[in-house]
Structure formats: C-alpha cells, structure tokens
Structure 1
Amino acid sequence: MASSVATKFLTDRVALVTASTKGIGFAIAKQLGAAGASVVVCSRKEKNVDEAVAALRLENIDAHGTTAHVGDKNDRTKIINFTLDRFSKLDILVSNAAVNPHYGDMMSVSDSQWDKMLDLNVKSAFELTKEAVPHLEASGRGNVVFVSSVAGYSPMNDIGAYSVMKTTLTGMSKSLALNLARRNIRVNTIAPGIIRTDFSQALFSDETEKQKWLSQIAQRRFGDPDECADAVTFLVSDEASYISGETIGINGGMQARI
C-alpha cells in the first residue's frame, strides 16, 4: 500500500505513532504520511528520532518527532502536548511501543522483567490512550490502533510472559472499543506474526530457530513491516468506519493453526 497510495485519503489528519523510528512503527508512520496524514514519531534516542524525521520528510511527509519513553508519565504527557503544539489536534493514535526482556523458560522470568513488560506493553498503552482521548474525541473521527501479536492468541513457549502481555493488550482494546464508541472513537488492534525487524531478530537469527518458526507459517516466510502498516492505514481510514473492537492478524497463515 505504501508504494501505491493513489489518493491522499488521510489529508488533514494528525497521527501520533509510538516507538516509530524503525521497524513496524516507522513503516506505519511512513504509510500514514503517504496517505496524507501529518505524523509525529517518537523514540527514546534523539539520534533515531532525527533520522526518522529526516527520512520521512524526504518522502514529502509532514513529519515531526520528539524523544520520549512511553513508560514515563511525564513523557506521555510530553508527546501529546508536542503533537498539539504543532498541529492543534490529534486524530490517530498508534500504540506500538513494546518490550520483551526475556526469552526462554517462562518460569525463569524475574520480577523486574515481569514488571517491565506489564508497564511498557500494557499499562503505558492504556495511560497514553487515556491522555489522548479528549483530543481524539474533539477530532470527531478519532482512531486508536494497538500493535499486539499473534502470540496473544496462542502463547509461544519461549516468549510466554510476552504472550500474556499481548493477550491482555488485545482484551483491553476490545474493552476500550466498547467504552469509547460513545465518544466516536474507534479502537482496533493488529496482531503481527513474525515480522523481520530488530525486535524479533532472536526468532530468525539462528538457522535452527528460523526453520522452526517457518514451519509454523502457512506462507513459509516472515512478514515485512509494510504489511503491518497496510492494515493500520486501512483501519484508521473512512473505509473502516464501521470497524471497531477488531483484531487483524498479519501472520502469513500462522493464526490459521490456532
């Protein structure tokens, strides 16, 4: 979709995408921008933010960015205010930030690792949404999209705790869809499978691991970040105006086995 957007169907809309200087988040920001939206990107590292903004502007996208750690309350307020200062409104929130500090036997997850996953993968997504709701409501066409995971449907053995967090995130998005409908805010989720990003590198960097996961994917390939961005761009468009509380799996048929 990113390379073939024929019309600017998101013109006059402002999108905030978290964890958006590379990988899935950057692809989403780029596609929303290609469809005409103004975009705000954020990351913890200033260098990454500057590079992402420069790359988006090279594509003639109206892009701005700021450093932020979404796990920090003050930073959550900061990125909302940053967006409002530049554009005076917010139409689209894409919550992409996530962390997985543990890989292996779930029984070996430490308290600090569990708390970190719960804080970044679930709590921060909820708190940022709460912060954004008044502005999304004022938009009259507000949209929230959470980036979950196929692991939220069927826990994966080596990322068991992370799977729990994504199950929780998917459930939270459904509850928010019910709660926010009266404010004319739609809430949806995408559930990527194994996408070629730095974040999921542990799943395909080793050849044995790579073949193990490929054997579970009907299409026998890993996904591309742009394929996730396609789904998000559709979900926030007017073409999806009667879609809320849904989760779209982007996993090459991996979910079909569940």
Structure 2
Amino acid sequence: MNLPLSGFGLRDKIVLVTGASSGIGAASARAFAREGAIVLAAARRAAEGEAVAAAIRAEGGRARFLQADVTRQDDLRRLVDTAVADYGRLDVAFNNAGTDGRFSPFLEQDDANYDLVMNTNVRSVFWAMQHQIAAMLKTGGGAIVNNASMGALIGFQSAAVYVASKHAVMGLTKTAALEYFPRGIRINAVLPGIIDTPFQDRVWGDEASKQAFANATVAGRSGTAEEVAGAALFLASDHASFFSGQGLVMDGGYVAQ
C-alpha cells in the first residue's frame, strides 16, 4: 500500500464524528478538518455543535453540524444517509458519543442508570456501525473508530455499568473488525484514560479528585482532547492499514503499572 508521505492522507474524506459538541468529539472534528476532511459534526446540543462547525469554517475548514441523539436509531441512520446523499459516500466514522451515567456503589446501581448507559454507550455503537458498515460496503470500504475508554480493560469502583458498557464496545469492535476487515473496512477503538474534558469534570466532581487520579498515571497528568484526536486520526488513516480490532490505549501509562 502506498501511504501518504506526510500527514494522515485524509484530504477530501467524508468524516462523521458523534458527540462533537465538546471535549474529545469537538477536538476530533477540528483535527479531521485541519487534515482537509469534510466533517459532519453530530451531537444533541445544537448551539454547541453549531459553534464547533462554525469555528472550523472560520479556520478555513469544511464542516457542518447535524443534530442527532445517538440513542435513536433513526437519527443514526439519518447521519449516514445524509453523508451518502450529499457527498456520495462515508469514508470515516468516529463513534465518540457516550455518557458516564451515575457512578455509585454496585448495589446502588439501578435499572434507570443501566438503561441510560447501555443505550448511549453500547446500543448506539451497535446501531451506528450497522448503518456505517452497510454504506461503506457499497463504496469500497472505510474506517470506523469507536471510543471505548481504558475502562474496557480494567474495573473501577462505583462504575460497574459504565465499565461494562466499555467492555461491550470493545467486543463489538473486535467482532465487527473480524468480519469486515477482509472487505475493506478497518474497525478499531481509542481507549482514553483520564482526559481533561467536561466529561471528566462531571465524573470526578472536583478538581482535587481529578488531579489525584491524574497523578496516579505514569505521566503524572491528565491527557488532552487533542491527544485523543490524534489517535483517532491515526486509526482512521491508511497509516493504520494493518490495524484491525485493536484498542489504542491512551492513559498516560496507567494500566501498564
């Protein structure tokens, strides 16, 4: 395979990013656009999502915002249908949207939290990949990146449902990769650790708790949304042409200890 001499070779690729209104999703949408991709930035929150797309266009990039709730299959289907109808294909999908739900001791986890987390983190990825794969098969292939978290590898106290959901995302990633890598679709995942985003602010509740966990990494700090975006770009690019069903761990060395 002839790889690009520089950059990620994503110019003019049609890229869908979910959860693009803030944090890792917003940083990834900007990063794909800076590489020359045409970005469909999807999220529930319209004002924030429109602001991300507008900022990309102000920098000279190409982006549009599409409002969508990933817990609704019709919305996920519409995102793919829009890409195909307006651009002829979908080259890359970054299934980034997710929720932490409610962290609490195992016996305090309830059905409402289970349904919220599993529907947002797992069923949405299952639905999304079904529509994305079907579209990519018609146009010769593509790349899918899922956001699985380092919680896909280890456990965390008070996070049973969240951790289970991220293990499930890796299961979906590996299985779909086995089936569709021979047909030109590369499916992998990023597994971020503690990343300095609004998501982590909600999880930890206060800066001292967040910093204490960051200090437990080998790096001694939190990661940035831009660092995760760089990993998503790599996995979406032909530089990762021999990656299939893998989870790229970005945790400052936490799980290596």
Same fold (TM over 0.5): yes
Deviation, structure 1 residue 211? 4.3
Matches within 5 A, 1:156-171: 156-171=156-171
Q: Percent identity?
A: 29
Deviation, structure 1 residue 30? 1.1
Residue equivalent to 2:153: 153
Residue equivalent to 1:142: 142
Report SS of the residue matched to 1:123. helix
Distance 1:211-1:63 versus aligned 2 partners, 3 A rule? closer
The separation in 2 between residues aligned to 1:26 and 1:192, in whole angstroms, is: 15
Read off the aligned partner of 1:216 and give its amino acid letter.
A
Deviation, structure 1 residue 243? 1.0
Q: Does 1:193 align with 2:193?
A: yes
Report SS of the residue matched to 1:119. helix
Read off the aligned partner of 1:123 and give its amino acid letter.
R
The separation in 2 between residues aligned to 1:95 and 1:104, in whole angstroms, is: 26
Residue equivalent to 2:39: 39
Distance 1:228-1:166 versus aligned 2 partners, 3 A rule? same
Deviation, structure 1 residue 35? 1.2
**Structure 2, unpaired ranges of 5+:** 1-5
Residue equivalent to 2:179: 179
Runs of 4+ in 1 over 3 A off after TM superposition: 202-205
Deviation, structure 1 residue 205? 4.6
The separation in 1 between residues aligned to 2:177 and 2:112, in whole angstroms, is: 31
Instruction: Please report the TM-score for the alignment, with normalisation by the length of structure 2.
Output: 0.93
The separation in 2 between residues aligned to 1:223 and 1:254, in whole angstroms, is: 11
Deviation, structure 1 residue 21? 1.5
The separation in 1 between residues aligned to 2:215 and 2:166, in whole angstroms, is: 22
Number of equivalences: 253
Deviation, structure 1 residue 182? 2.8
Read off the aligned partner of 2:166 and give its amino acid letter.
K
Residue equivalent to 1:223: 223
Read off the aligned partner of 1:157 and give its amino acid letter.
Q
The separation in 2 between residues aligned to 1:208 and 1:55, in whole angstroms, is: 32
Q: Does 1:133 align with 2:133?
A: yes
Distance 1:180-1:204 versus aligned 2 partners, 3 A rule? same
The separation in 2 between residues aligned to 1:123 and 1:78, in whole angstroms, is: 16
The two structures, once aligned, show a CA RMSD in angstroms of 1.7
**Structure 1, unpaired ranges of 5+:** 1-5
Q: Is this contact kept in 2: 1:8–1:36, CA < 8 A? A: no
Instruction: Please report the TM-score for the alignment, with normalisation by the length of structure 1.
Output: 0.93
